[in-house]
C-alpha cells in the first residue's frame, strides 16, 4: 500500500480541460472583464512587485522564456514559448504553464496550464490599456493577424470597451475565416478584409498580433491616421517587430516594463533615449495617457510577469468549492521534514 501524501504536498492543478470548464462556467465575457480588472488592480500597485526582464533562451526557431515576479506574499512564474513557425508543423506558436507559491514557506499553491490563460490575460491587458489610451467611444477595431490570440483580443475589446465591429485581416485567408466563424455568435459585426489597409479603415483601435521572427512591417506610416490607438502585441522578441519606425516617431508610446520592452518591443528599433511611459503610471494617475484628439497612442505590449501573476491569482481565487482542478503531489513533504530518505524507504516497504 503506498503511503498517501500529506495535505501540504497536494496542490491544485488546473488542466487545459478544467480551464475550459471554468471559463465556460463563468462565461467568457465575465472572465475577460474580471481579468481586466485584476490586471488593472495589480498595475495600480506596480511598485510593490519584484521586476526583471524575463529570462529568454533564444534559438533559430523561437524562444523559451521564464517570467517570475512576487509581491512579497505571493510568488509566481510562467514558462512560455514563442515559435512563429510551429504552425507549419501543426503546433501552437505560444504555449505555457505557470505556478503560484507562498513566499513565506516557498510551498506551491497552484499549478496551471497557461496556453489558454495567456491568451485570456493578453486580451485583458490589451483591453485595460485601451481603457486608458483609446479614443473615448471607440466602436470599431481592426485585428491584424487572426491566429490563436485573435478572438480573445476582439472579445475582450467588446466586453470591456463596447467595441461593436471587428475588421479582420491575415495573410492567410483560412485564419481570417476561422476567426470569423469563431466570432459569429459574439455579437460583434465581423468584416473580413483583403488587406491590412482595408482592415484599419474607420478603426479607432488597431491591434497587430502577427507571428513572424523578423522585422516585419504590418503597418506603414502612411496607413496610420491621426487619433487612433495601436495595440501592438506580436512584436515581442529581439529581431521581431510589426510597425515601421516612422509610426513610432509620431506616436506616444506606452510600455509595460521599460527595461524588458527596450530589448523585445517595437522600440528596439529606436534610439535608447526614445521617450516611453510605463503604463502603470497612467493607471495610477501619475502620467497622462491620451491628451489630444489627433494623438496616436501606441501600447507596445510584449507581455510582462505581473500580468501572469494577476491571471494566476484570479484563477486560484475561482477554485474554492469547485471541481475545476485535480490535486497532484508535486512536492515531497515527509512527516519529519528531515526524513526525506526515510519517506522513500517506507514507500518501498509499503
Ligand X SMILES: NC(=O)c1ccc[n+]([C@@H]2O[C@H](COP(=O)([O-])OP(=O)(O)OC[C@H]3O[C@@H](n4cnc5c(N)ncnc54)[C@H](O)[C@@H]3O)[C@@H](O)[C@H]2O)c1
Q: What residues act catalytically?
A: 236
Cβ 308 to ligand X, closest distance in Å?
Answer: 9
Question: In the set 118, 277, 297, 310, which binds ligand X (CB under 6 A)?
Answer: 118
CA end-to-end distance (rounded Å), the chain: 5
Cβ 242 to ligand X, closest distance in Å?
Answer: 8
**Cell 485583458, residue located:** 124
Enumerate residues 292-331 that contact ligand X by CB under 6 A.
301-303
- Return the residue nearest ligand X (CB atom): 147
Answer yes or no: are the C-beta atoms of 304 and 39 closer than 8 Å: no
Question: In the set 210, 253, 295, 297, which binds ligand X (CB under 6 A)?
Answer: 210
Question: In the set 233, 248, 306, 311, which binds ligand X (CB under 6 A)?
Answer: 233
| CA distance linking residue 126 with residue 128, whole number of Å | 5
Report if residue 278 touches ligand X, rule: CB under 6 A. Answer: no
| CA distance linking residue 67 with residue 273, whole number of Å | 26
| CA distance linking residue 289 with residue 303, whole number of Å | 19
Phi/psi at 328 (nearest 5 deg)?
Answer: -125, 145
Question: In the set 6, 93, 197, 284, which binds ligand X (CB under 6 A)?
Answer: 93
Total number of residues that touch ligand X (CB under 6 A): 28
Q: All 3 cell numbers of residue 162?
A: 463596447
Report if residue 138 touches ligand X, rule: CB under 6 A. Answer: no
Report if residue 166 touches ligand X, rule: CB under 6 A. Answer: no
Report if residue 112 touches ligand X, rule: CB under 6 A. Answer: no
Question: In the set 22, 154, 157, 218, which binds ligand X (CB under 6 A)?
Answer: 218
Question: In the set 17, 50, 172, 329, which binds ligand X (CB under 6 A)?
Answer: 172
Cβ 328 to ligand X, closest distance in Å?
Answer: 26
Report if residue 64 touches ligand X, rule: CB under 6 A. Answer: no
C-alpha dist (Å) from residue 92 to 23, 62, 96, 241, 327: 20, 12, 10, 20, 27
3-class state of residue 116 by DSSP: helix
| CA distance linking residue 41 with residue 306, whole number of Å | 11
Answer yes or no: are the C-beta atoms of 148 and 119 closer than 8 Å: yes
In the complex, the residues that contact ligand X under the rule CB under 6 A are: 82, 87, 93-94, 118, 122, 144-149, 170-172, 175, 209-212, 216, 218, 233-234, 236, 301-303
Amino acid at each position: 500500500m503506498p503511503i498517501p501524501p500529506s495535505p501540504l504536498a497536494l496542490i491544485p492543478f488546473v488542466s487545459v480541460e478544467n480551464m475550459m470548464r471554468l471559463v465556460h462556467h463563468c462565461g467568457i465575457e465575465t472572465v475577460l472583464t474580471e481579468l481586466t480588472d485584476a490586471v488593472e488592480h495589480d498595475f495600480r500597485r506596480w511598485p510593490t512587485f519584484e521586476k526583471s526582464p524575463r529570462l529568454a533562451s533564444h534559438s533559430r526557431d523561437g524562444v523559451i522564456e521564464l517570467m517570475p515576479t512576487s509581491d512579497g506574499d505571493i510568488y509566481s512564474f510562467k514558462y512560455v514559448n514563442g515559435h512563429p513557425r510551429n504552425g507549419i508543423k501543426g503546433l501552437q506558436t505560444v504555449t505555457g504553464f505557470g505556478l503560484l507559491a507562498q513566499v513565506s514557506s516557498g510551498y506551491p499553491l497552484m499549478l496551471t496550464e497557461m496556453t489558454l490563460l495567456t491568451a485570456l490575460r493578453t486580451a485583458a491587458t490589451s483591453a485595460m490599456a485601451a481603457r486608458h489610451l483609446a479614443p473615448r467611444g471607440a466602436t470599431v477595431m481592426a485585428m491584424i493577424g487572426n491566429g490563436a490570440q485573435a478572438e480573445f483580443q476582439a472579445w475582450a475589446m467588446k466586453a470591456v470597451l463596447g467595441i461593436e465591429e471587428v475588421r479582420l485581416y491575415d495573410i492567410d485567408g483560412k485564419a481570417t475565416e476561422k476567426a470569423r466563424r469563431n466570432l459569429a455568435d459574439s455579437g460583434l459585426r465581423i468584416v473580413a478584409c483583403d488587406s491590412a489597409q482595408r482592415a484599419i479603415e474607420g478603426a479607432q483601435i488597431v491591434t497587430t498580433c502577427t507571428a513572424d521572427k523578423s522585422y516585419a512591417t504590418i503597418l506603414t506610416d502612411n496607413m496610420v491616421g491621426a487619433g487612433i490607438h495601436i495595440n501592438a502585441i506580436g512584436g515581442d522578441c529581439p529581431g521581431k517587430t510589426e510597425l515601421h519606425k516612422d509610426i513610432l516617431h509620431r506616436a506616444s508610446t506606452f510600455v509595460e516594463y521599460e527595461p524588458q520592452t527596450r530589448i523585445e518591443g517595437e522600440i528596439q528599433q529606436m534610439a535608447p533615449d526614445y521617450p516611453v511611459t510605463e503604463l502603470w503610471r497612467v493607471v495610477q494617475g501619475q502620467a497622462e495617457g491620451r491628451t489630444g484628439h489627433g494623438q496616436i497612442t501606441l501600447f507596445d505590449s510584449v507581455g510582462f510577469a505581473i500580468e501572469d501573476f494577476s491571471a494566476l491569482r484570479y484563477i486560484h481565487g475561482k477554485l474554492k468549492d469547485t471541481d475545476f482542478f485535480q490535486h497532484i503531489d508535486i512536492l515531497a513533504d515527509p512527516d519529519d521534514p528531515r526524513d526525506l530518505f526515510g519517506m522513500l524507504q517506507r514507500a518501498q516497504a509499503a
